[in-house]
Amino acid sequence: MKFTLAAAMISSASAYMNEPATSQNMADSINKMDTTWTAHVSPRFTNATNADVASLCGTFLPDHPDFYELPEETHLTGTMKDVPDTFDSTTDFPGCEATIGHVRDQSNCGSCWAFGSSEAFNDRRCIAHGDKVWYAAEDVLACCSGIKCGMSMGCNGGQPASAWSWLVKTGVTTGGDESMKDGSTCNPYPFAACAHHVDPTDDYPACPSDGEYPTPKCTKECIDDKFEKKYDDDKVKALTSYSVKGEDKIMEEISTNGPVTAAFTVYEDFVSYSTGVYQHTTGKQLGGHAIEIVGYGEENGTKYWKIKNSWNPTWGDKGFFKILRGSNECGIENQISAGSV
C-alpha cells in the first residue's frame, strides 16, 4: 500500500486493513441493528479490502497536529426564518440540475479533496453565472500542492479548505471527466472511471492492473491539445473562501449560495451504505474523506444532509448518500468550506 494521508494514520501491520471492505455478513450484521440506514454488498467495492478504501480517503482531519486548516468563518446576513426546512441543490436551482446532479469518479487516486472543492466551485458557478462548463479537479489535484496548498500531496491526499484558498489566489481551468477529451475543456481528468475491484462492464472497463495512479504533473498548460484557449486564459477565480459552522448556518449557506465542501471520518461500515440516513454503527476508522453537501431534509423523522460522493454512481444511492444532520456525525459539521464565485 502506498503512502496516503489515510494510510499514515493506520499501521500497515493492522490485520483488518486486509479484510474485505464489504460483504454479505457485514451487511447482514448492520441491517440487524435496525438503524436509520440500509447496508448491502457495495458493487463499487466488491472484492476490495479496507486498505483499498483507505487509499481513496485523502483528507486531513482536525486532529492533525500540523497541517489541518479552515479559512475564516463567515456569517450570512439573511434571516433564518427564510431558510426552507428541506432543500436539494440537484433540483432546486433551475438550470443547474445536470451540473449539480452529475456524479464523478476519482478513480484509483486519493483525490477526494480536489473533487470536493472543485465540484462545489463548479456548481456555484452554474448557480451564480449560469456556467454550463465543467471545472477541473485535475488542475486542483496537480497544481494545488505543498505549502501554498496546506501541504496537499495530489493523489496522496490534501485539504479541500486549502484548495478553496488556492481557487481564490490562482483560479482553476475547465476540465470534465476523462471521457471528455474532445476539445471542450482544458484539463479533463486524466484517470478513467473503471471497475476497481469488480467485473468490468461497458460503462466501467477494468482498471489498470498496476494499482493506484501517480499524481499528474502540474504543467500549467492544457492537457487536451484540441482545446483552443490557452491555459492562463481559461482560468477562473473564486472571489472569496470561508468556513461555515453550525447546522442552521450550513443550511442557510446551501439554500442561498449552493453546495458546500465538507470532510468527515470514514469508518468500515460506511463502505456498505445503500440507502437511508447513515450514522456510524460499527467498524474502525479508515481515514478522512472530502465530499460535497448538496442539500438537507428529513427522512422518517431523521434529519439528514444529502451528499454527493466521487466514487461513481455504482456506489451508495446512485453515487449519493445521506448522513445524520445536527449532531456532527463523523465530524462532518466541523469541516465545512465554501466561497463566493
Task: Give the catalytic positions in this structure.
Answer: 112, 289, 309
Amino acid in position 130: G
- Of 269, 240, 270, 249, residue with least CA distance to 333: 249
Q: What is the CA radius of gyration of the chain?
A: 19
By 3-state DSSP, what share of the chain in percent is helix, strand and coil, each rounded to 5? 30, 20, 50
Q: How far is CA 207 from CA 103, 195, 316, in A?
A: 18, 6, 20
The residue assigned the cell 449532531 is 327
Q: How far is CA 199 from CA 21, 210, 267, in A?
A: 16, 17, 25
C-alpha cell at 21: 471492505
DSSP string across 59-127: B--TT-SSS---PPB----S-GGGS-SSEEHHHHSTT-HHHHT---B--SS--HHHHHHHHHHHHHHHH
Widest pairwise Cα distance in the chain:
56
Q: In whole angstroms, what is the distance from residue 322 CA to residue 13 CA?
A: 33
- Of 237, 238, 244, 243, residue with least CA distance to 71: 243
Contact between residue 295 and residue 87 where contact means Cβ atoms under 8 Å apart? yes
**Terminal-residue alpha carbon distance, the chain:** 38
Amino acid in position 207: C
- Of 294, 318, 311, residue with least CA distance to 106: 311
